[in-house]
Structure formats: C-alpha cells, structure tokens
Structure 1
Amino acid sequence: MADLSIDFCGIKSPNPFWLASAPPTDKAYNVVRAFEAGWGGVVWKTLGEDPPAVNVSSRYSALHGKNREVIGFNNIELITDRSLALNLQEITAVKKAWPDRAMIVSLMLPCEEAPWKEILPLVEATGADGIELNFGCPHGMPERGMGAAVGQQPDLIEMVTRWCKTHTRLPVIVKLTPNITDVRAPARAALAGGADAVSLINTVNSITHLDLDSMVAYPIVGGRSTHGGYCGSAVKPIALNMVAEIARDPVTAHLPISGIGGIGNWTDAAEFIALGAGSVQVCTAAMLHGFRIVEEMKDGLSRWMDRKGYANIAAFSRKAVPNTTDWKYLDMNYQVIASIDQDKCIQCGKCYVACEDTSHQAIARLVEGNARRYEVKREECVGCNLCEITCPVEGCITMVPQPSEKPYMNWTQDPRNPRAEVVA
C-alpha cells in the first residue's frame, strides 16, 4: 500500500490532508474531531492580538448550481473571536494528545515587529510544529492594515517574514493572496524573507449574488453587505494555476508549497500535488460534508498511487510541472480533430448548436426521415474542444491527434509571428 506520510519543510504528517485555517479549526473540539476522523494536520484558525476580533451575523453566502449543489462559498468571517490565552491553551492540549499530527498555527498581526516578537514564543511554547502567516484575508482585516493589505505588497511580506524567522525556530509558511496580478512576486518576497514554505490560495474577493427585492448582496447584515472571500470548487482552477506558477518559477522552484483552493476529493489533491504542492489544505468541502470526507480522500489517493506505482507522495509530486509552460512554447504544428462515436451519441444536438452558433460551424446536422445524425466536418474542425465539453455523454466525443510530418515549432519560431526568432 502507498505511503501517504509527508515531511513538509520539516513538519511531519501521516497524510497530506490538512484542514485549512478557518471555522473548522477554531477550537479544540473541532480539531479533535478532525484528528479522530483521520486528518493528517490542521492549520489552527488565525490568532491575533487581544482583544479578539468581533464577527457579524450572518457571515456566509453561496453560489448554487443544479440541485442546490454549492459551487462557490463566500464568507465575511474574521480571524478568531476567542481570546489568545484560550486558543494557546487548547493548542497545547491538542498537540500533546495528538503528537503525530501536524499542528500549524495561523497568525495575523499589525506590521510592527513588537507584537510578532511577543506572540511567537507563546506559540512555540504550545508544541506547535509551525506557523502560517495569514497575508491573504480579503475582508475586514485589510481595512486594518493586515491580511491581503500585506499580501499585496511584497516589501511588507519580506519584512514580516524576516521578523518571524528572527523570533522563532518554527518553520514559517507564508499564506498568499490570489487578489494580485502576479503571484510570483509575493512568493519571491516570502522566499527572500526566509520563508520555509508558502501556502495558497487564500480566498478571492467576491460577491456571490443579490436579493433583488431588497437590493442587498448576500450575506445580509442589517440591510447591508460587503465583499467577502470566495472559496470552494469554483476557485480550484485559479489555485492550480497559481501553484503551478510558483512551482515553475526558477526563483521559487524549490520552495515547498501547501496547496489550497477547491480541494474536495482525492483527485483534486493529486492534481495539486502533481503541480507542486507538498501538502493540501481543505476547508469548504469539510464545512459542507463534514470531517469524514477525509476517509475517501485517503483511500482514493492510496488506491490510485498503487495503480500507478507511486510508492509515496514524493514519487509524483511536481510531476506535471515540466509539462506546464507558457503559451508561446506550445507546438503550433500539433492538431486534433473531433470524432463522434455514433454508438454513444443520443442525438441531443448540443454539440451542433454550440459549434454552429458560437464556434467554427464544423458539425453537420444530417436528417434522414425522422432520424438525426451529427458528423464532424474534418476540413472545418480546428480542434477547439467545445463540442466535447458540451456533450452530455462521457466519451462520446473525443479529440483525435492528427498525424503530421511537420516538426515541433512554437510561436517564437513561427514565420507567421512578425517577431519570430530566426532559427539557423
């Protein structure tokens, strides 16, 4: 059986599945239930200075799909609203009772060295395995000069990270905001400050939807609302891209990454690991389905690793990174053409409508009596994948690679590019 244990920048864990810093890790009761369910570690909900933050009601909203499936989740909850002393006491007790599980403590403080210098020894005394600097929270805290207000300024990231490395022996993980143009800049700043790792993504600025009768966005607080932090399966593509950007950046290529953002099953986790993550953090899926989901995550990942011959997490970690590149280096001579399996086709016509109305008019609609049939016009098909995506039957439409005698040629070499590089 595959070995799921990890050593993430010196933090050991029986499996890569951690709960992210959020409501599920707000107190000992929750964390103990999580460990009993099988989670490999937790990032304790963000601690700050006393007096603790004060939250509002209500705090959550969601974007629903068909059958009330939650596609995206929005929250305006702040950092812990419990006292620092109580949190530290519970962290100490839980870590003592569960010494084999990873215990990371999330922190958020003003950009002044004194409070960081004061709190770090207190956290270290709990027996925690590491700290995570919350430079990502997009609501409430940035207005106080913390959270994303720091994460959007690389110079502040580097400065605070360096303070923490000075005042603690624990591994320092810097949690990055996605609300930025280029995530590589803050990652490089974290590395320059001495960070042992980065974690990402934090939540995305969002408003999920409105009550069109009252003209107030959700969640509604006394007739008004505000933007919040968006998470859940909807943000996974954003998170995967940002993880990959850091993993393939020459400056940060060897910086450990804890992947966060829309992870709800073992396949999500495997994708994050293949693109650079050494551990994965889960929040929304646990809030929607409970802590027991980790059982399927561990079992599914283990079985897949066995089938693939991966003995441990390191065997496939970052394996997809070399295959991820800039657009300009893709092969301009590679081509695929859609193929419809007539035995699987249910003649719904979705592929035809999508291609005819919005793409390349590359699917023919043939009517023979009362029967319909859809065929690909090979000479018109550009291999865009739209028909495959819109088809409701899995495997009915596939994209078939076409034979070519043309050698690899990317855009920098393409004679159609007015700035093409001359190849000798």
Structure 2
Amino acid sequence: MANLKTTFAGIQAPNPFWLASAPPTDKAYNVERAYEAGWGGVVWKTLGEDPAAVNVSSRYSATYDAKGQVVGFNNIELITDRSLEINLREIEAVKKHWPEQALVVSLMVPCVEESWKRIVKLVEETGADGLELNFGCPHGMPERGMGAAVGQVPDIVEQVTRWCKLHSRLPVIVKLTPNITDIRFSARAAKAGGADAVSLINTINSITGIDLDQMVARPIVDGKSTHGGYCGPAVKPIALNMVSEIARDPATFGLPISGIGGISNWRDAAEFIALGAGSVQVCTAAMIHGFRIVSEMKDGLSRWMDSKGYEKLEDFRGLAVANTTDWKYLNMNYKVVANINDDSCIGCGRCYISCEDTSHQAIAKLPQPDGSNRYQVIEDECVGCNLCEITCPVSACITMEQREADKPYLSWIHDERNPHREVGH
C-alpha cells in the first residue's frame, strides 16, 4: 500500500487529511474522536482574546443539487466562544494523548504586536505543532478589524506574520482569504513576513438564498440576516484555481500549501496535491457525513496511488502545476471535434438543443424512418467547445477527438491574428 505520511512545513502527520479550523475542531471531545477515526491532523478552531466571542442562533444555511444533496454550505459562526484558558488546557491534553497526529492552532487577535506575542507564547506552551493565522474569516470579525480585514491588505499580512515568526518558534501557516482580487499578493506578503506555509481558501462571502415569505436571507436571526462564509463542493473550482496561482507564481514557488475548499473524497484531495498541496483540510464533508469519511478518503487515495505506481505523496505532488499556464500560452493550432457514439446514444437530443441554441450549430438532427432522430456532428462547424459532451446524460457517449494539426504550436503571443503580437521571436 502507498505511504500516506506527510511532512508539511516541518509538521509530521500520518496522512494528509486534516480537519480545518471550524466547529468540528472546537473542543477536545471532537478532536479526539477525529483522531480515533483516522484523521492525520486537525487545525483547532480559531482562538482569540478573552472575553470569548458570542455567537448567534441560527448560524448555517445551504444550497442543494437536484437530488437534495448539499453542494454549498454557508455559516455566520464566529471564532471559538469558549474561553482561551479552557481551549489551551484541552489543546495541551490532546497533544499529550495523541503525539503522532498533527495539531495546529488557529489564531485571530487584534493587529497589535503585544496581543499576537502573548497568544503565540501561550499556544507554544501547550506543545502544539504549529500556528495558523486566520486572515480569512469574512463575517463578524472583519467588522472588528480582524479576519478578512487583515487578509485583504498585504502589508498587514506581512507585518502580523513577521510578529508571529519573531515571537514563536512554531511553524507559521497563514490562512488566506479568497475575497480579494488577486490571491498572489497576499501569499507573497505572507512569504515576505517569513511564513512557513499558506493555507487556502477560507470561506467566500455569500448569501445562499432568500426566504420569500419572510423576505429575509438565510440563516435567519430574529427576522434579519447577514452575509456569511461559503464552503463545500461548490467552492472547489475556485480553491483549485487559487492554489494553482500560488503554486506557479515565481514569487511564491516552493512555498508549502495546505489546500482547502470543497474536499469531499480522495479524488478531490488528489487534485489539490497534484497542484502542489502538501496537506488538505476538510470541514463541510465532515460536518455533513461525520468523521468516518476519512477512512474512505485514505483508502481511495492509497488505492489510486498504487494503481498509478506512486509510492508516496511526493511522487505526484505538484505534477499538474507545470501543465497549468496562462491562456496566452495555449496552442492556437490544437483542435478537437465531438464524436457521437450511435450505439450508446439514447436520442434525447440534448446535445443538439444546446449546440443549436447556444453554440455553433454543429450538430445535425437526422429524422429516422421509425420517427426517432439520429444526431451527427458537422465536423467543419465544430469548434471543440465540449458543450455537447457536458450536456449529454450518457457517460462517454460523446467524446472529444483530437485532429492532427497541420501547423506547429502557436501561442496567441505570436499569432498573426493578434494585433499586439510579438514579431521576430
């Protein structure tokens, strides 16, 4: 079986699956049960200064797919509402009982050096393995000058990171907000401040829906609501993109990344690792399905690695980074066209409707003697957009087939159709 052990920012763990800082990691009871279930690490729910934060009721809402499964999860919960003293005592006890599992502590205090100095010293005394600086919480805390209010200002990201590195010997992981124009600026600032790693993404500003009877967004607190933090499978594409942006940025190349955002199974985890993540953090999937899902995650990842000949995580970590590039470098002479397998086609016509109405009218509808229709790709009109393949309800019925190019690789930078092309290179 493949070896799932990982060393992330100097922190060792039996596997890369960590619980993210969130309700599942708010107390010793939860964290110990998570370790028992097989999680490789946890990031303890964000600690702050006393008096502890006060939360409201209710706190969560969600979006669903056609089958009623949760695809997006929204919360307006704040950082821990338990005292700092209780949290520190439990962290110390848990680490003593579970020395092999990673235990990182998430932190958020005002942007005052003495506040950060005090809390990182207290956490260090518990024996925890590392610190995660929460610069991403998008609700409640930014109104107090913390969370995303910090993560959105690179200069402050760098400053606070530097304070923590100055006053603590523990590895410092900076958790980044996605509620920003370009995630790379915050990552560069974290690295400049001495961060040992970054984690991303934190939750996205969101309103999941409106109760049209009460005319208020969900979740509802005494007839009012507010924006919250969005997570779950729906945010995974955004998270993967932001991870890749940091992984391939020359200014942050090599900076360890903990991937977060919609990870629900082993395949999701493998995708983040392929884009350079050294560990992955899970929250929503655990909240919906319970801690035991990690068994399937570990087993699935291990079996897939075995099938590919990967003996350890480092064998495939980051392999997709080199194949992720800017649009301007893509090959303008590459061509694929759609092909419909008549044997598996059920004649639903969805490919024809989507192409005829919203694409390039590249599929012909051919009436048959029995009153049914057959669908055929008009190859000269097909631009290889993939829309028909996406809309087809039958797996592998429509495939995109490469056509031999009669011209060599050509990027947009040098394409003669580009009025701003570079000439003579």
Is the TM-score greater than 0.5? yes
SS of structure 2 residue aligned to 1:383: coil
Give, in angstroms, the shift of residue 423 of structure 1. Answer: 2.9
Q: Post-superposition shift, 1:121? A: 1.2
Equivalence for 1:228: 228
Deviations 1:153-180 (A, max 9, x none): 0000000000000000000000000000
Alpha-carbon separation, structure 1, partners of 2:54 and 2:399: 53
Supply the distance in 1 between the matched residues of 2:96 and 2:395 (Cα, whole angstroms). Answer: 49
Amino acid at match of 1:272: F
Q: Where does 1:25-424 land on structure 2 (aligned, <5 Å)?
A: 25-369=25-369, 370-424=371-425
Residues 103-142 of structure 1: per-residue CA shift (max 9 Å, x gap): 0000000000011111111101111000000000000000
Which residue identity does 2:205 align to in structure 1? Answer: N
| Shift in Å, 1:27 | 0.3
| 1:161-200 Cα shifts (integer Å, max 9, x gaps) | 0000000000000000000000000000000000000000
**Could you report, residue by residue, the CA deviation over 1:336-377 in whole angstroms, capped at 9, with x for unpaired residues?**
000001111111111010000100010111111212101100
For residues 393 and 28 of structure 1, what CA distance do their matches in structure 2 show?
47
1:391 aligned partner, one-letter code: C
Equivalent-residue separation in structure 2 for 1:120 and 1:258 (angstroms): 20
- Report the Cα distance in structure 2 between the residues aligned to 1:71 and 1:43, rounded to whole angstroms: 23
CA distance in 1, matches of 2:121, 2:186: 26
Displacement, 1:405? Answer: 2.1
SS of the aligned residue for 1:164 comes to: helix
Give the Cα separation in 2 of the matches to 1:422 and 1:47. Answer: 56
Tell me the secondary structure at the aligned position of residue 373 of structure 1.
strand
Deviations 1:213-252 (A, max 9, x none): 1110000000000000000000000000000000000010
Aligned equivalents of 2:116, 2:35: Cα separation in 1: 29
Per-residue Cα deviation, 1:278-329 (whole angstroms, up to 9, x for no partner): 0000000000000000000000000000110111011100000000000000
Q: Which runs of 4+ in 1 moved over 3 A?
A: none
Amino acid at match of 1:34: A
Q: AA paired with 1:188?
A: R
Instruction: String of CA shifts for 1:234-274, please: whole Å, max 9, x gaps.
Output: 00000000000000000101100000000000000000000
- How far apart, in 1, do the equivalents of 2:223 and 2:335 lie? 54
Q: Distance in 1 between matches of 2:272 and 2:191?
A: 20
Unaligned residue ranges in structure 2 (runs of 5+):
none
Residue 404 of structure 1, CA deviation: 1.2
Deviation digits for residues 79-114 of structure 1 (CA, Å, limit 9, x no counterpart): 000000000011011110000000000000000001
CA deviations 1:6-41 (Å, max 9, x no partner) are 000100000000000000000001001100000000
TM-score if structure 2 supplies the norm length? 0.99
Q: Percent identity?
A: 74
SS of residue matched to 1:110: coil
Aligned with 1:68: secondary structure? coil
2:19 aligns with: 19
3-state SS in 2 of match to 1:162: helix
- Normalised to the residue count of structure 1, the TM-score between the two structures is 0.99
In structure 2, what residue type is equivalent to 1:2?
A: A
Distance (whole Å) between structure 1 residues aligned to residue 395 and residue 126 of structure 2: 51
SS at match of 2:208: coil
SS at match of 2:67: helix
What is the rounded CA distance, in whole Å, between the counterparts of 1:368 and 1:303 in structure 2? Answer: 46
Separation (CA, whole Å) in 1 of partners of 2:74 and 2:343: 43
Secondary structure of the equivalent of 1:280? Answer: strand
Counting matched residue pairs gives 424
